Amino acid sequence: MLVAPSPCSDTRGTVCRVCGSSRLGPPALPAAALAGHRLLLCADCGFGCLDEAPGPLHARPGPNTAAPQQQRLRWLAQLRLRPLLRDVRRWHPGAPGRVLDAGCGLGDLAWLLAGIGWEAWGCDPAADARVACQPLLGNRFAPADVVEADLPRAHFDVILLNFSLEHVAEPGPVAARVCELLRPGGVTLVRVPNFAAALAGRRGAVFQLRLPHHRSFFTAASLTRLLVEAGLEPLAMSTPASLQESMSIVSELVPALDPERWMYAPTRPLSLLRAALLALLAAPVQPWTLARCRRGDGLVLHAAARRSTQP
């Protein structure tokens, strides 16, 4: 259940970046979750935005010269990305095609897809992404965001926005650019934190806010509206069950186990110990998270949308 924001006198002139509404105000979230940051909620579509100067793009450590497959264990990347790989197979059955990972980070997903036959492309403006992905993808990596990247139009069968859309301040141009880059009939698959779960007080959802690294926050309604406004046809919207659900709950309760603190570091005994402990503590929580995901109350929104085949 969304909590309508109260009027906020200092938001005059500010409009929702998804629906254009001026009915913005502070969300009903604990002060500790906001940590002094200025977050606004649209009363009409449920979109949230961080209304302040840009912060760091992400919480990863500085650039590392190691290739992605050397930085992390293969099984860990496969485990984290299994739900998205399943979605790729569902919405693009048959032979692999051309895929763009927009906001590809250190290249795990592109690396996995290339390994099963996809022509994998990536783009990301972060310095460590450039270090990791250029050796991996060569000229199929663009060191820029998807709006600015020099990429072929109407080229891709699948475009992935895997936990990247929440990092941008203006999601509208990103969605429009994705539509432009897809071939007719191509699909985009989106994963973002479920803002409705945070507003409803779901355990683990506040952990997903990650202020100030995240700047845009989506409910199912606001994400659907964004895709439609970009000219895409929504195909599905869900909160599938995954280990990320229970891991987020554990990481909120025990911040030292937060994967952001060890996942991007070179593999070492302490990282393996944290991974094992996180998995051990997350396992008993999994049955409870399965139930709430089936109700649509999960922490992560999965969306699929298609570019029309009509001119």
Span 253-286, pLDDT tens digits: 888 888 877 776 666 677 778 888 988 898 888 8
If one compares 92 and 291, the residue with the highest pLDDT of the two is 92
What is the Cα–Cα distance from 88 to 232, expressed in whole angstroms?
Answer: 17
Domain ranges of the chain: 246-287
Cα–Cα distance, 118 to 92 (Å, whole number): 11
pLDDT of residue 70: 44
* 242 SS3 class: coil
Q: What is the pLDDT of residue 6?
A: 35
What pLDDT is recorded for position 182? 98
Lowest mean pLDDT among 115-119, 131-135, 206-210: 206-210
**Rounded distance, CA 124 to CA 214, Å?**
15
Give the torsion through C-alpha atoms of 225, 230, 234, 237, to 10 deg: -50
Helix (H) or strand (E) holding 210: none
Residue 33 has pLDDT above 70, yes or no: yes
Half-sphere exposure of 50 (CA within 13 A, CB side): 24
Q: Is the pLDDT of residue 14 over 60?
A: yes
Per-residue pLDDT, 74: 59
Residues 6+ apart with CB under 8 A from 190: 160, 161, 162, 165, 223, 227, 301, 302, 303, 304, 305
pLDDT the model gives residue 2 = 31
What angle in degrees, to the nearest 10, is found between the helix axes of 243-253 and 74-91?
130
Summarised one tens digit per residue, pLDDT across range 176-223 is 999 999 999 999 999 999 999 999 888 888 878 888 889 999 999 999
3-class state of residue 14 by DSSP: coil
The pLDDT of residue 57 is above 70: yes
CB 59 within 8 A of CB 210: yes
Whether 87 shows a pLDDT value over 70: the answer reads yes
Give the pLDDT score at 83.
82
Q: In terms of pLDDT, which residue wins out, 128 or 12?
A: 128
What's the rounded mean pLDDT across residues 3-30? 71
